Chain A
Amino acid sequence: MKKIIVACNSGLGTSLMIRLNVEALLKDWGLKAWVEHTDISSVDTFDADLIIGSNYVMESLQLAQDVEVIGLDDITDRQYLKSRLLDSETFKQWLDM
């Protein structure tokens, strides 16, 4: 199963909001994935396929592993999130399968 991590500064508010949006989109597409939200200190401890968060937070990430990262300009707009997800390599591969 694919693992998606949503991260924000404290891993409490913003990341949970984005996570709910991601989960709603996955449900629309009939996809099953493991989605978790966390703070940026912990991002590296998850073995994720995709990391999502606001642009500012993603800019400060120093990842050890080679993972696809999506930095969002707008963290509230679900349509924008949808287009960014569909553009990502992870989702392109996934939807082809």
Chain B
Amino acid sequence: MNATQMISKGLLGEPALLLGLIAFVGLLLQKQPFQRLVHGTIKTMLGYTLLQIGANAAGSSLSNLSAVIQKGFQIIGIIPHNETITALAQINFGEEIALIMLVGMIVHLMIARFTRIKYIFLTGHHMLFMASLLAGVLVSMSMPLWQVMVAGGIVLAFSMSFAPLITQPYVRRVTGNNDFAMGHFNSVGYVLSGFIASWFKKGPEPPESKGLQKLRSFFQDHMVVITVFTFVLFLFSGLFISPGGTQEMFSGRHILVVSLIQATWFAGGCYVILAGVRMLLSEIVPAFKGIADRVVPGAIPALDCPVLFKFSPFSAMIGFLLSFTGGLVAMVIQLQVQYTVIIPGVIPHFFSGGAAGVIAYKIGGRKGLIVSSLIHGFAITILPNFLIPLLSNLGYLRATFADSDFSVIGLLVHEVFSWFK
């Protein structure tokens, strides 16, 4: 094995080592002490490993759920859940994803440094999700690694700059200033929501009721929401199979027990994935921010979507509920016409739907909020349909990306690069 092989097969061929290296370089550039350097590098590698372990757990439960849904309704149910699909993608394309992220961060910093688009995208997990999508789509077009890395990195960098750019006119109307932007890959959904809401006029804001407050409080805890939702989904789908049928599938156990165990198993997998992503990003994002602070004077940080919730908690909650309703309508329509169905995800509707609700309400008042949120929920549930054929080549059958930009960018990239071939 010569030196280049040693690097490409040994050092960079292993995503855990590659990500560790990225963190290492980031920390080195910030002149961190030796102890911190070792700590950060190892934690990044550990985080990656956790991601893989969680993916196995969540994936096994997801395939059981898929089997139950398929048997009960004679359809394939697909759950839009960013963390799970990313973790599944990591198993096959870890190396590509890490390289796309690295190139993406560098090009994104250059865009902010040399153009007037001064946004620095700090939502690290969305950066990772988009890199995973791009790796999945580009690899399926049988490109060599270096092309995947360059093309993916450039598309990632542009997405990170344009998502805050196109939402900023609406975000500015919500926040009243230009202090921060939204770095969240549902920008197509936010623009749609703001655009529809602008047809309506704004009235005075009603106070938030006690019931809504309690409901909001319940939905804050991801793990509880995922467990309850998966449990209901399992049990409900199980009811459409004969008791003998489910017992045959799960070695004689009752569907109630199976649902409980599988729901906690799925949530447990998600929890481990989240812990892994967190560990990975807690080293990479500060490094990225540290470098950005130095090279891009006057940069505007682009932050995660819950930053908007405080501007109108009432409409965030209503936005979520109506967005989810729109999603259910979309699901029912899909049931009538096709074999694969996107099951509306509680988490994406809560976050994307909530932030879209705040924008809609601040621009179009009550009527704007209602109409926008319903359409928003419908749109983000229908959109992944177009993405699935691009991902299913890779064996992703049961999970997909949730927020609108992933579908739109996945489709665009597929169209544009098909031309070149």
Contact = CB atoms under 8 A, between A and B. Distances in A.
Interface of A: 8-14, 16-17, 19-20, 37-42, 54-57, 59-60, 73-76
Given A8-B306, A10-B274, A54-B310, A40 B123 contact: no
A12 B273 CA distance: 11
Contact of B306 (A38, A54, A59, A74): A54
Nearest to B347: A10
B309 A39 contact: no
B122 A56 contact: no
Nearest to A57: B220
A85 to B, nearest CB: 19
B310 A13 contact: no
Interface string B293-327: 00000000101101101100100000000000000
B304 A39 contact: no
A72 to B, nearest CB: 9
A46 to B, nearest CB: 13
Contacts of A56: 216-217, 220, 309-310, 313
Contacts of B281: 12, 16
B180 A59 contact: no
A-B pairs, 7 with minimum CB distance: A13-B304, A60-B217, A60-B220, A41-B223, A12-B125, A13-B123, A14-B304
Interface of B: 122-126, 179-180, 213, 216-218, 220-224, 271, 274-275, 277-278, 281-282, 285-286, 289, 301, 303-304, 306-307, 309-310, 313, 351
Interface of chain B: mostly helix, strand, loop or mixed? helix
Given A12-B304, A41-B222, 19 more contacts: A8-B306, A9-B351, A12-B274, A13-B303, A13-B306, A14-B303, A14-B304, A14-B307, A16-B286, A17-B122, A38-B278, A39-B278, A40-B220, A40-B221, A41-B224, A54-B309, A55-B310, A60-B217, A75-B310
Nearest to B289: A20
B124 A12 contact: yes
B220 A76 contact: no
Given A11-B278, A39-B222, A76-B180, A59 B217 contact: yes
Contacts of B306: 8-9, 13-14, 54, 75
Q: In the complex, which of the residues B123, B216, B223, B310 has the most CB atoms of chain A within 10 Å of its own CB atom?
A: B310
Contacts of A12: 123-125, 274, 277-278, 281, 304
Given A9-B306, A12-B277, A74-B310, A41 B218 contact: no
Contacts of B278: 11-12, 16, 37-39
